[in-house]
Chains A and B, each alone.
Chain A
């Protein structure tokens, strides 16, 4: 597992920070519905590359912890939707991941440098990658 964010000092803020509200707006999902059963993390096939498990992403959002905004996990997520079909609370976690990516993308950050594209990848992959990972 990649470096994990230390969760030893989490504190619950008195008020929901703006970025959490924004993530909820962008995703259309209620992050507070999550009760931390961890089924999404168990089903996610990409956790080996993540610094935060999907359930942890939701947890940090619930706690209003801004470190979630710098996490690598949303960039590793491939929008495969395995998490969403498993969630007993109906949270579509992939949408939350997308909202977190959009946060960065809309500031002009990028998750893909077009110069580094491996040769010979098909259009379908390039279109998908540029849509998900470039501003």
Chain B
């Protein structure tokens, strides 16, 4: 199943690249994928370039829209000593890039029972005592492709300020790039996730959510669900396009170009 989906994503994307004939491409750059040089069109994303070079993603790609955090990449550009981090689906190739994918940041997540944990800041240090090792080097912030103030949220976590961690980490997509770089070996995104969960738990459930839950439980949407579940694939796709067009999010009925992110370039 997963394999099949990946295959379809790849095919869809191939069209974007191979729709143009190599002869028509005017600008080329050379990038080095795990040390091997490839000439690729200048205007594509790292992810497309990796595929253009002939690799196939089995892991390390998901949404292709900057949301899932699966496509973490680290790279250097020739002549620049900096080690940079980026999302492959959101970053354009540059000439002289040396890159490698980090499809997974090795990190064990402690098991916790949210029901049993009080919504207090001290819980963070109990599960992640290594927070105390932060040296305020700010490397995590520099690595974050979401441009979050990661160090600030780690410092807030150390202080036990759940609200601040939630606020500062809200756009985290769990790509793990911060945690790959941290000299204190902190697993930032798991810390932030626990903080958001605890904080969320401490908030009252808004009236409109309760209202909706009551409606669902009373069976208000049952019929509609039933109808959608009975549709065939074509019909569902058409329904989706129609929805998107109504929202103004989709142009020319091309589902493969759907991006929900301003920075996206699918």
Query: Total interface residues on B, using CB and 8 Å?
Result: 10
- Are the C-beta atoms of A127 and B158 separated by less than 8 Å? yes
Q: How far is A134 from B184 in the complex, measured between Cα atoms in Å?
A: 10
Contacts of B132 in A (CB 8 A): 123, 126-127, 129-130
Question: Which residues 40-85 in A have Cβ within 8 Å of B in the complex?
Answer: none
- Are the C-beta atoms of A130 and B158 separated by less than 8 Å? no
Is the C-beta of B200 less than 8 angstroms from some C-beta in chain A? no
Contacts of B257 in A (CB 8 A): none
- Are the C-beta atoms of B129 and A114 separated by less than 8 Å? yes
Taking Cβ atoms with an 8 Å cutoff, the residues of B that contact A are: 122, 125-126, 129-130, 132-133, 158-160
Partner of A130, one of B122, B133, B160: B133
Taking Cβ atoms with an 8 Å cutoff, the residues of A that contact B are: 114, 117, 119-120, 123, 126-127, 129-131, 134
- Are the C-beta atoms of A119 and B129 separated by less than 8 Å? no
Contacts of A114 in B (CB 8 A): 129-130
- Are the C-beta atoms of A123 and B159 separated by less than 8 Å? yes
Chain B CB within 10 Å, residue with most, of A119, A120, A123, A127: A123
Contacts of B129 in A (CB 8 A): 114, 117, 126, 130
Contacts of B158 in A (CB 8 A): 123, 127
For the complex with contacts A123-B160, A130-B130, 16 further pairs of A-B residues with Cβ separation under 8 Å are A114-B129, A114-B130, A117-B129, A123-B125, A123-B132, A123-B158, A123-B159, A126-B129, A126-B132, A127-B132, A127-B133, A129-B132, A130-B129, A130-B132, A130-B133, A131-B133
Q: Name the distance in Å between B101's Cβ and chain A's nearest Cβ.
A: 28
Q: Name the distance in Å between B191's Cβ and chain A's nearest Cβ.
A: 14
Q: How far is A120 from B133 in the complex, measured between Cα atoms in Å?
A: 17
Q: Name the distance in Å between A116's Cβ and chain B's nearest Cβ.
A: 10
Q: Name the distance in Å between B108's Cβ and chain A's nearest Cβ.
A: 12
Q: How far is A129 from B159 in the complex, measured between Cα atoms in Å?
A: 16
Q: How far is A108 from B130 in the complex, measured between Cα atoms in Å?
A: 15
Q: How far is A123 from B130 in the complex, measured between Cα atoms in Å?
A: 11
